[in-house]
Every structure is written in C-alpha cells, then in structure tokens.
Copies of this chain bind each other. A is one copy, B any other.
Amino acid sequence: MIRHSHNISEEHSKLESYLQSNGLKLSFGRELVFQAAIGSHGHFTAEELVKLLKKQPQRVSRATVYRSLKELLEAGVIRETAFGDKHHHFEHVYDEDPHHHAQCIRCHSFIEFPDLKEDTVYRPILEKEGFKILGHEMHFYGICRKCRDRNS
C-alpha cells in the first residue's frame, strides 16, 4: 500500500495532547508502549506487545501495556481492527493508508483493501480475492454522549 508522509512526531503529539487534556504524564512506560506500537508492522495484539516488551532491558508490566493501549486508542494513535476471536487486535494509524478489513468467520483471518469511499466499489476487489461476502457493516468508533458528559 502507498504510504502517507505522516511523521512519527505527529503521532507522538497526538499522545501528548491526549495525556495533557486528561491530566496524565508522559511516563517512560507509556513511551515504550508507544514506540512498540508505532514500530510494529501490520497488526498486533496486546499480548504480543507484552511479550515483546518483556524481552527489552526496560521491563513493562502487563497491566501497564493494557492501560497504555487504551490510551493510545483514545488518542487516535492506534485503532482496533479485528473481531470475532477473543483477542483485541490493533494497528497503528501512522504510515498506513486508510483501509478496511474483510474477515473470515471461520479462521478469523482477514484481507485488507483500500478505502475507496464507496460501498459497491469494494465488492469486486474482495471477490477477486476469492472472498465470499456474507455481509458487511460500517463500524464507527468514538466516544458516546454519556462518556463525554461523564468526563467533563
């Protein structure tokens, strides 16, 4: 896929402003999780990051990884991508063209395809890949009214 010209520091700023507006600090643990997430290729799970960060000289606990991932998610640095199995899957937004996922309900594998803005345009792409479409839905993510109110 074609890459964006986004800068990593731009992503880092997302995190910083998120932390600031929530009274949180840019700690060393958070920084490591950020680096691991942003440095990943393709998709990753929380547990994968846990294992990865266990190998580093600077240890980060499982609790911190889970906590930090939630923050990165809300900050918009990463997004959740896979469903259907019991893992949370993520990918970073940086250096990725907007794309969608088509997921197999049997093996939970998925294929990626570029965001073409129009529903009907996607079908031929997927069918050419041998993917039998059973259905689709548009999945928006964000903050609901209740949570927004609760926060202020």
Interface residues, chain A, with chain B CB atoms under 8 Å away: 73-74, 76, 79-81, 83-84, 86, 88, 100-107, 109-111, 115, 117-119, 122, 126, 129-148
Contacts and interface: CB of A to CB of B under 8 A. Distances in A.
Given A88-B84, A117-B119, A140 B135 contact: yes
Contact of A76 (B73, B81, B135): B135
Chain A to chain B: the 7 pairs with minimum beta-carbon distance, closest first: A130-B145, A104-B144, A102-B140, A136-B140, A134-B142, A100-B138, A83-B83
A81 B86 CA distance: 14
Contact of A101 (B106, B139, B147): B139
Given A104-B141, A119-B119, A136-B141, 5 more contacts: A107-B146, A111-B144, A126-B142, A131-B143, A133-B142
